[in-house]
Amino acid sequence: MTTFTHRLLGALQLDAAIYEEVEADRDAVGQAALVVLLSSVAAGIGSVGVGPFHVRGIIVGTLGGFAAWVSWAALTYLIGTRFMPEPQTRSNLGELLRTLALPPRRAY
């Protein structure tokens, strides 16, 4: 099994093999959730100076990040598998949750 650090660094380097690996590993949902948690907390901390409720900003940013991640994966799954599928389309919500948590990869 690949370590979290190896996968994160591979995704940051836009290594296509890491994306394929994460897509296939059903146990990687926890690692994907950790990436979303860390980025959501960072976004919340970044918004601390905006309003008078600093702690609330971090909490709302974290919860909002998780909600956006799950919502975006569900919407992508619905559109890709129900409304616009190709004959070879095979996917599930878990695959999308895992791969959408990583930084975007190159299209080429």
Taking only the tens place, the pLDDT of each residue in 1-53 is 568 888 888 888 888 888 888 888 888 888 888 888 888 888 777 766 655 66
Here the contacts of 42-47 (C-beta below 8 Å, separation 24 or greater) are none
Is pTM beyond 0.75? Reply is: no
Q: How many CB atoms lie within 10 A of CB 101?
A: 21
Q: How many CB atoms lie within 10 A of CB 37?
A: 15
Q: Let me know if residue 107 belongs to a domain.
A: no
Give 43's contacts (C-beta < 8 A, 6+ positions apart): 61, 65
Total tally of structural domains belonging to the chain: 1
Instruction: Specify whether the CB–CB gap between 16 and 105 falls below 8 A.
Output: yes
Q: Let me know if residue 15 belongs to a domain.
A: yes
Q: Let me know if residue 71 belongs to a domain.
A: yes
Compute the average pLDDT of residues 81-97.
83
Side chain identity at residue 11, one-letter code? A
Q: Let me know if residue 108 belongs to a domain.
A: no
Residue 11 belongs to what domain range? 4-100
Residue 20, both tokens: 């394929």
Please state, in angstroms and rounded to a whole number, the distance separating the CA atoms of residues 70 and 48.
24
